[in-house]
Amino acid sequence: MDKQAVRGFLLQSLNMALDIDGETTYTNSFDVEVLESGFLFIPRVPCSYILGVDLYQRIFAIANGILYPAYTVLKQAGAYFVKTKSSDIHTARAFFFPWLVGIPERLKIKNIGEFVRSLTGEELPLMQGMILDFDRITHVAIAGNSGSGKSYSLVYLLNVLHGFAKLYIVDPKFDTPARWGRDHGVNVIHPEDNRSQNDFVTQVNEMLSDVVKTIHKRQATFQEAEETIFQPIAVVIDELLALSLSVTKTIKESFFNLLGQVALLGRSTKVHLILVSQRFDANALPVAVREQANLFIQLGNINRKTTQFLFPDLESADGIVVPIGKGTGLVQVIDGIHPANIMPLLMPTYERR
């Protein structure tokens, strides 16, 4: 569809469904301008309707539904105002609705080994047309209920990261990540029958302490030679909540303190956290650590209850067309390159050969 066709389609739909006290384009109350990166809703003020978040979200709900699958309108936490080119006070402002052309599509990989070898640098492909630069990712938080595809998605990330990063893996369930580590020669910290839960988490704390020491060494090296390039380190912890339950207060506090140090100091020294949990409440992770992440993935059921920790500013996922199936959900990446909006996600599928 060309811009004029899209504009006409939007105007017709808004006139029919928006219902703002009878104000329409027929009464010259607003207009729409279509851009490459989205569209503008330009009200002519003064008007009988309030230019606020309620109106913005109503327009979003209408536009996202009717434009699918030609465009994916990106959900905003609040009203997104922009200045127009007009110098007339009546049309000097507009709501901006950014979009992606088409819809997110799953990356289907025939051979994961060959695929990883074909990547260059620190590439981390998430979907068709969405390739992240891992160097711009501080930390990663992945949430999802049982059966949502967390483990499958995590193993995909392990395969990709193994191509360029040093991995530290913690698997409290002694399950999928542990088997991946065995097959790829990567040591995995996991529970053992002859050790208590406190002993297991103490092992994790010792590993995190070694990582903090590495961070300090890298910081000292930077003081001598700022151009030094370090190999990325990824600390991967599956089922995070299992580590903070059923342990003594002292060990739990040590665990949270060490996580906090890695989260706060790791960015400049290329040390990253990859954290996986069914939820990210205060029992699983301190808020200060969660706020250091800039790649958020929510898999499985999408509702206010499941998104409240990773996407606290998202009042409702209404209007976002979330795909159905395992490894699907929502993603937000704040890397300065991709739109920071919350958008649908379909994690890659792959075959091991």
DSSP 56: H
Residue 148 is assigned to a ligand binding site? yes
Q: Are 255 and 120 in contact (CB under 8 A)?
A: no
DSSP string, 120-171: -TTEEEEETTEEEEGGG---EEEEE-TTSSHHHHHHHHHHHHTTTSEEEEE-
Residue 144 is assigned to a ligand binding site? yes
- Which of these, 77, 74, 11, lies nearest to 37 by C-alpha position? 74
Residue 151 is assigned to a ligand binding site? yes
3-state secondary structure of 345: strand
Beta strands in the chain (DSSP E): 30-34, 38-43, 71-73, 81-83, 93-101, 108-109, 123-127, 130-133, 140-144, 166-170, 188-189, 233-237, 271-277, 295-299, 328-333, 343-346, 349-350
Residue 15 is assigned to a ligand binding site? no
Residue 146 is assigned to a ligand binding site? yes
Amino acid at 150: K
Query: What residues form the annotated binding site for ATP?
Result: 144-151
Q: Which residues are annotated as a binding site?
A: 144-151
